[in-house]
Amino acid sequence: MKEVEKELIEMKNTSELMLDLAYSSLLYHNREIAEEVFNLEQKVNDLQESVIMKILENNEDSETDKSLILLKVADSIERFADAALDIADVVLRDIDLHPVIKKSLEDSDEFMVRREIKKGSFLDGKTLEESEMATKIGMKVIAIRRGENWAYGPDKKIKLKAGDVIFARGPKESDVPLKGWVENE
């Protein structure tokens, strides 16, 4: 059951990231971020299937109640992920928002961006702490995708590498310096 618990935690973390990214994709009308939500939804579905199979394979009559609770938790997390996908779908389908929602989104001071770190760039090989990104340009990294693996709310000691995709939030004017930091300029 330890493996089930581990996968449920990964489902929870992924669905939380999905909701954050979905809201951000809507807020900044960012199609790339909405597509990441779409891709993450399949990961949650795969984890849910794995959890169900492990519970069914290891279920003992004495643990039926516990198994049922775990199945309900997995189902609830998956529905949370589906809700995030519904939000991102508004951006993916380019649906016009109600004027009141548009106005409230336009008034936001924050900006969310998805950037891939290029080989030899300023951020390549630096930890988040060494980069001083938050203090120097005002951008906070909320997630990093390295291949198929994700770091949610990454630790400041994590070393960034070429090919990493970072998701950062901050003032709109911070995107220009960040773009320079992830590219070979």
d(C-alpha 86, C-alpha 37), whole Å:
10
pTM comes to: 0.75
Q: At CB < 8 A and 24+ separation, what contacts does 52-61 make?
A: 54/3, 54/4, 54/7, 55/4, 58/1, 58/4
Domain ranges of the chain: 2-100, 109-182
Q: Which two tokens stand for residue 57?
A: 């394979």
d(C-alpha 166, C-alpha 134), whole Å:
13
What does the pLDDT read at residue 49?
95
For 35-92, the pLDDT digits (tens) are 999 999 999 999 999 999 998 888 776 678 888 899 999 999 999 999 999 999 999 9
- Residue keyed to tokens 């997995």: 74
For 100-124, the pLDDT digits (tens) are 877 776 666 677 788 999 999 999 9
Q: Does domain 2-100 have CATH number 1.20.58.220?
A: yes
Question: Into which CATH architecture does domain 109-182 fall?
Answer: 2-Layer Sandwich (3.30)
Q: Which two tokens stand for residue 46?
A: 């795969």
Whether 2-100 and 109-182 share one fold: the answer is no
For residue 144, what pLDDT band results from cuts at 50, 70 and 90? Answer: very high
157: amino acid identity, one letter? K
Average pLDDT over residues 142-146: 91
